[in-house]
């Protein structure tokens, strides 16, 4: 049984439901139709005894272009969000609401889901991979939450996941947009397994043949990932990013003479000060969230406001539209981003406007 649309392929093979992202020329970036299709499939399979497990991956480019097959999912529909943000923001809010419902359904799904993070896994791709029970990285994995570079913040559950990484690595990753490789994802628990890309086809076939043996199949195919380079700097990251105040992080980096501190400071100076302050508060709050539903509700309120603010519109212009990579952030410095502004961005929405999970 299969249902083929232009952007996501939904099928059942044996006793396994399959969700295959199918926008290779956009590196499988999510749009509303893809979120709707995956939500509908997961809802149908939830009560179907013939479906025992789910595989989430991406389809290769139909023309065989390896450059267009290198992404699991590069994010969400950023251009649409910016266009909506310039107006009344309604379409952006609708997309966030739908996308976060998909994130939440994946997080709470009773049947095992395995996501194959083979290639670029960023932004919205992180949001659909990390809720899955099993998350397979490869030597091609490039995992990042780069949102502060476009005036946004690590949403789709970023406040939950990054705040639960060891030490202050989550703060470092969330502020800098650092790209983790497969070995680093495995070492940090962002991936549950590491499998060479050339063995994925064999692994998926084995899961389809015996979904009850999924965990054994994953362990049987797991290979040594290699050394996680980022963790060589774990002590420095814990020290330099110890504070939840962005001004303190900048001061610590400015006072440190190491190459790592100098390079990190140069990176942060390219990011939106507002977005970085939002990110630090998001992680501080996320560490204390009782449920993932609470996290989604807060992130939706924050996203609904940030998407209409200057820095997001300017970040998209600089990085995605004009590509001059010279954003004019406003406020321009960490000191200029007031606590009052952050409180306004984080204020809960009214009951009728707040995010709700799919039922």
pLDDT tens digits, 111-132:
999 999 999 999 999 999 999 9
User: pLDDT for 171-193, tens place per residue?
Assistant: 999 999 999 999 999 999 999 99
Query: How far is 101 from 22, CA to CA, in rounded Å?
Result: 20
Q: Domains (ranges, CATH) in the chain?
A: 2-346 (3.90.226.10)
pLDDT of the residue at 68: 55
**pLDDT category of residue 60 using cuts at 50, 70 and 90:** confident
What rounded mean pLDDT belongs to the chain?
95
- Convert the chain into a string of H (helix), E (strand) and C (coil): CEEECCCEEEEEECCEEEEEECCHHHCCCECHHHHHHHHHHHHHHHCCCCCCEEEEEECCCCCCCHHHHCEEECCECHHHHHHHHHCCCHHHHHHHHHHHHHHHHHHHCCCCEEEEECCEEECHHHHHHCCCCEEEECCCCEEECCHHHHCCCCCCCHHHHHHHCCCCHHHHHHHHCCCECHHHHHHHCCCCEECCHHHHHHHHHHHHHCHHHHHHHHHHHCCCCCCCHHHHHHHHHHHHCCCCCHHHHHHHHHCCCCHHHHHHHHHHCCCCHHHHHHHHHHHHHHCCCCCHHHHHHHHHHHHHHHCCCHHHHHHHHHHHHCCCCCCCCCCCCHHHCCHHHHHHHHCCCCCCCCCCCCC
**pLDDT category of residue 61 using cuts at 50, 70 and 90:** confident
Whether residue 230 has pLDDT greater than 50: yes
Q: What are residue 58's DSSP bridge partners?
A: 21
Catalytic residue, from 57, 77, 118, 155: name it. 155
**pLDDT category of residue 4 using cuts at 50, 70 and 90:** very low
pLDDT of the residue at 1: 43
**pLDDT category of residue 226 using cuts at 50, 70 and 90:** confident
Is residue 198 annotated as a catalytic residue, yes or no? Answer: no
Whether residue 295 has pLDDT greater than 50: yes
Report helix angle 78-86 to 90-108, nearest 10. Answer: 140
Catalytic residue, from 17, 71, 75, 76: name it. 76
Is residue 155 annotated as a catalytic residue, yes or no? Answer: yes
Is residue 285 annotated as a catalytic residue, yes or no? Answer: no
Catalytic residue, from 17, 123, 124, 151: name it. 124
């Amino acid at each position: 049984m299969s249902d083929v649309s232009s952007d996501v392929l939904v099928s059942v093979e044996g006793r396994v439901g399959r969700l295959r992202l199918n926008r290779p020329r956009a590196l499988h970036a999510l749009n509303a139709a893809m979120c709707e299709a995956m939500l509908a499939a997961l809802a149908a399979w939830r009560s179907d005894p013939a479906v025992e497990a789910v595989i989430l991956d991406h389809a290769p480019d139909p023309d065989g272009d390896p450059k267009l097959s290198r992404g699991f999912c590069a994010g969400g529909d950023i251009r649409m969000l910016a266009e909506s943000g310039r107006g009344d923001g309604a379409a952006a809010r609708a997309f966030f609401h739908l996308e976060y419902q998909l994130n939440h359904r994946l997080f709470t799904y009773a049947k095992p889901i395995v996501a194959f993070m083979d290639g670029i896994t960023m932004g919205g791709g992180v949001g659909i991979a990390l809720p899955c029970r099993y998350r397979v990285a490869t030597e091609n994995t490039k995992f990042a939450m780069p949102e502060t570079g476009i005036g946004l913040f690590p949403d789709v559950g970023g406040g939950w996941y990054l705040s639960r990484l060891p030490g202050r690595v989550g703060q470092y990753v969330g502020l800098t947009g650092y790209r983790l490789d497969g070995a680093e994802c495995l070492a940090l628990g962002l991936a549950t397994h590491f499998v060479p890309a050339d063995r994925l086809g064999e692994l998926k076939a084995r899961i389809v043949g015996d979904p009850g043996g999924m965990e054994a199949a994953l362990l049987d195919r797991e290979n040594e990932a290699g050394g996680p380079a980022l963790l060589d700097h774990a002590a420095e990251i814990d020290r330099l990013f110890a504070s939840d105040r962005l001004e303190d992080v900048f001061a610590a980096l400015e006072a440190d003479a190491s190459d790592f501190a100098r390079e990190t400071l140069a990176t942060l100076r390219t990011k939106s000060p507002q977005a970085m302050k939002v990110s630090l508060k998001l992680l501080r709050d996320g560490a204390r969230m009782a449920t993932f539903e609470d996290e989604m509700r807060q992130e939706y309120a924050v996203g609904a406001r940030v998407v209409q603010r200057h820095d997001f519109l300017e970040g998209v212009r600089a990085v995605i539209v004009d590509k001059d990579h010279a954003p004019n952030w406003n406020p321009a410095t960490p000191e200029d981003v007031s606590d009052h502004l952050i409180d306004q961005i984080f204020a809960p929405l009214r009951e009728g406007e707040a995010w709700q999970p799919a039922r």
